[in-house]
């Protein structure tokens, strides 16, 4: 579903211009490149939506303010559940 | 009996087009003017939960769709070519970050007044009111409601309300005055604004709230669906959790018009449809609201009920529907009408069937089947 924002691409790269990048910065950069994408993952209170899983370098991360290392690989997965 | 509405019947439309919004996507059901042969096209937004899809009746081609998926957040899609292509809203309905509230889904869409061509209104779950001034591209909260000091008292907590979340629905704009509006909330009740949404006041006198310790409340009721009477925006019909009601303005006390329903069927249901040309005619689709609220057709025998005297009496209309073992029902947005001289009435079921009547409910025919759970059926 999120690939509808990236023209089908399963993997994209974004650059964050901040010395101490956080996950929220990465998601903001994604939204700038692919408008609308962030709100599908993060609600207006700044919380990760319940069924969206984000892995930073294979570590599950639910805090948008978590620090992200330079060159980190971030995986966003829709945790499909229910009927 | 009140005077008949004066609105004239329009020339016969050339076709009927229904937008069928479901738990798994959006379909379109179209017929020529005979209303005998129907063509189902879709899905669009496959996998999305589509709560509402609405045509902008002011331009006849703009459509808005309220959608979310099970795991991604809520949004609004917009088409300016009658549904051939869609673009997502740049700024979907969302509460202000400092409110701490989160839109779970946009539930209701209403085009604004004809004098305000770009204006749309949206109601959300939990209860929030939003307005777009650019045809649905960007949305802002209506502070007069969302930040009203009484809002929390009116609505209760965001976790309260219906099993699928509390909702703001039935956004009605007076065709004579863009500043005059009504909304319904499940729960909360019916509210009125006379200043375009800057302020609101409850309008629930006479409506029962059997689920409250004090049934004679100012607010806290559970209207399921509120509609203007055809041709007469001074008359409102309401299908409520606790009955069927009618309000003739400027009065402020609703009249109980559900007492004429058969006792074995009851007065609980979700949709309410008003005849477009006759203020005294309306339809409801009752469901089993006994005990634990099974929310299925009463006794497995679905039927619409029609009044032709403003709710004084009701007539069962089930010719063509299953006579037994049909355990579906109809949600609040899933029943509508067309504008033919002899009005067509349509509804979508929780079991994924669309039914229609070409003769104002006298006979019914299944127009489409095997769709997902239907959330709304609207004329486009």
CATH number, domain with residue A53: 3.10.20.30
Distances (CA, A) of B76 to B54, B124, B253, B332: 11, 11, 36, 20
Interface residues on A facing B, Cβ-Cβ cutoff 8 A? 1-2, 35-36, 39-47, 49-52, 78-82
> What are the strands of the beta sheet with B189-193, ordered from one edge?
B167-173, B181-186, B189-193, B201-202
Mind telling me how many Å the CA of B86 is from chain A's nearest CA? 12
Reply yes or no on whether the pLDDT at B211 is more than 90: no
Give me the DSSP letters along B268-316: -EEEEEE-SS-TT-EEEEE---STT---S-GGG---EEEESSTTS--EE
What does the buried/exposed string (b/e) look like for B356-369 if buried means 16 or more CB atoms within 10 Å of the residue's CB?
bbbebbeebeebbe
Locate B270 and state its tokens: 């979700």
Candidates A1, A44, A82; nearest CB to B95: A44
Q: What is residue B289's predicted lDDT score, i.e. its pLDDT?
A: 85
- The verdict on a CB contact (< 8 Å) between A39 and B94 is yes
Q: What is residue B1's predicted lDDT score, i.e. its pLDDT?
A: 39
Range of the domain at A16: 1-83
Query: Looking at residue B214, what DSSP letter applies?
Result: S
Confidence of residue A81 (pLDDT cuts 50, 70, 90): low
Q: What is residue B4's predicted lDDT score, i.e. its pLDDT?
A: 47
Give me the DSSP letters along B98-164: GG-----EEEEEEE--TTSTT-EEEEEETTEEEEESSTTSB-EE-HHHHT-TTHHHHH--TT-SSTT
Interface residues on B facing A, Cβ-Cβ cutoff 8 A? 47, 69-73, 75, 88-90, 92, 94-97, 99-103
pLDDT tens digits for A33-80? 999 999 999 999 999 998 888 999 989 999 999 999 999 999 998 766
Confidence of residue B213 (pLDDT cuts 50, 70, 90): confident
Mind telling me how many Å the CA of B66 is from chain A's nearest CA? 13
Average pLDDT, chain B: 94
3-state secondary structure of B97: helix
Reply yes or no on whether the pLDDT at B212 is more than 90: no
> Of B120, B64, B130, which is closest to residue B93 (Cα–Cα)?
B130
Chain A residues touching residue B101 (CB < 8 angstroms): 44-45
Chain B residues touching residue A41 (CB < 8 angstroms): 72-73
Q: What is residue B9's predicted lDDT score, i.e. its pLDDT?
A: 67
* Strands B232-240 vs B243-248: parallel, antiparallel or unpaired: antiparallel
Q: What chain B residue is nearest to A39 in terms of C-alpha separation?
A: B73
Q: What is residue B290's predicted lDDT score, i.e. its pLDDT?
A: 82
What does the buried/exposed string (b/e) look like for B63-73 if buried means 16 or more CB atoms within 10 Å of the residue's CB?
bbbbbbbbbbb
> Of B33, B3, B21, which is closest to residue B339 (Cα–Cα)?
B33
DSSP H/E element including A38: helix A37-41
Locate B40 and state its tokens: 């189902």
Mind telling me how many Å the CA of A23 is from chain B's nearest CA? 18
Q: Can you state the percent helix, strand and coil of chain B, rounding each to 5?
A: 5, 40, 55
Q: Exposed, middle or buried: residue B265 (CB in 10 Å: 0-12, 13-18, 19+)?
A: buried
> Of B277, B291, B294, B287, which is closest to residue B344 (Cα–Cα)?
B277
Reply yes or no on whether the pLDDT at A2 is more than 50: yes
Query: Looking at residue B203, what DSSP letter applies?
Result: -
Asked if B31 and B379 touch (Cβ cutoff 8 Å), the reply is: no
Q: What chain A residue is nearest to B137 in terms of C-alpha separation?
A: A36
**For chain A, counts of helices (H) and of strands (E):** 2, 3
Chain B residues touching residue A52 (CB < 8 angstroms): 71-72
What is the rounded CA–CA span in Å between residue B372 and residue B349?
9
Reply yes or no on whether the pLDDT at B6 is more than 70: no
Q: What is residue B12's predicted lDDT score, i.e. its pLDDT?
A: 84
Number of domains in chain A: 1
Q: Provide CB contacts within 8 A for B140, sequence distance 6+.
A: B91, B130, B131, B132
Q: What is residue B29's predicted lDDT score, i.e. its pLDDT?
A: 98
What is the rounded CA–CA span in Å between residue B158 and residue B143?
17
């Amino acid at each position: 579903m999120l690939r509808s924002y990236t023209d089908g691409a399963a993997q994209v790269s974004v650059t964050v211009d901040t010395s101490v990048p956080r996950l929220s910065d990465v998601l903001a950069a994604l939204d700038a490149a692919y408008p609308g994408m962030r709100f599908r993952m993060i609600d207006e209170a700044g919380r990760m939506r319940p069924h969206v899983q984000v892995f930073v370098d294979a570590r599950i991360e639910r805090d948008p303010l978590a620090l992200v290392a330079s060159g980190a690989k971030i995986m966003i997965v829709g945790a499909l559940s229910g009927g | 009996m009140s005077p008949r509405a004066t609105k004239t019947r329009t020339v016969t439309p050339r076709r009927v087009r229904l937008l069928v919004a479901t738990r798994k996507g959006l379909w379109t059901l179209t017929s020529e003017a005979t209303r005998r042969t129907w063509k189902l096209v879709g899905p669009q937004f496959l996998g999305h939960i589509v709560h509402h899809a609405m045509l902008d009746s002011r331009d006849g081609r703009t459509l808005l769709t309220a959608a979310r998926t099970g795991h991604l957040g809520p949004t609004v899609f917009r088409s300016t070519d009658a549904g051939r292509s869609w673009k997502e809203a740049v700024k979907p309905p969302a509460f202000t970050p400092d409110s701490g509230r989160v839109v779970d889904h946009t539930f209701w869409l209403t085009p604004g007044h004809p004098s305000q061509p770009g204006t749309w209104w949206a109601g959300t779950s939990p209860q929030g009111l939003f307005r777009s001034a650019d045809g649905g591209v960007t949305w802002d909260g209506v502070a007069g409601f969302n930040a009203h000091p009484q809002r929390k008292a009116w609505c209760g907590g965001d976790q309260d309300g219906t099993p699928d979340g509390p909702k703001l629905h039935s956004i009605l704009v007076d065709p004579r005055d863009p500043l005059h509006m009504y909304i319904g909330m499940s729960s909360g009740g019916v509210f009125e604004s006379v200043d375009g949404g800057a302020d609101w006041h409850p309008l629930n006198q006479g409506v029962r709230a059997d689920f409250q310790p004090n049934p004679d409340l100012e607010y806290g009721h559970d209207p399921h669906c509120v509609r203007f009477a055809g041709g007469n925006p001074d008359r409102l019909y309401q299908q409520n959790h606790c009955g069927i009601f009618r309000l003739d303005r400027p009065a402020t006390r609703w009249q109980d018009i559900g007492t004429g329903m058969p006792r074995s069927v009851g007065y609980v249901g979700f949709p309410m449809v008003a005849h477009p040309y006759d203020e005294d005619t309306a339809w409801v689709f009752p469901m089993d609201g006994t005990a634990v609220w099974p929310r299925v057709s009463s006794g497995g025998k679905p039927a619409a009920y029609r009044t032709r005297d403003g709710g004084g009496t009701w007539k069962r209309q089930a010719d063509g529907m299953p006579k037994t073992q049909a355990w579906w029902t109809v949600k609040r947005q899933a029943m509508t009408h067309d504008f033919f001289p002899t009005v067509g009435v349509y509804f979508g079921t929780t079991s994924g069937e669309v039914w229609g009547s070409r003769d104002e409910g006298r006979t019914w025919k299944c127009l489409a089947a095997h769709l997902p759970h239907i959330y709304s059926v609207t004329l486009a």
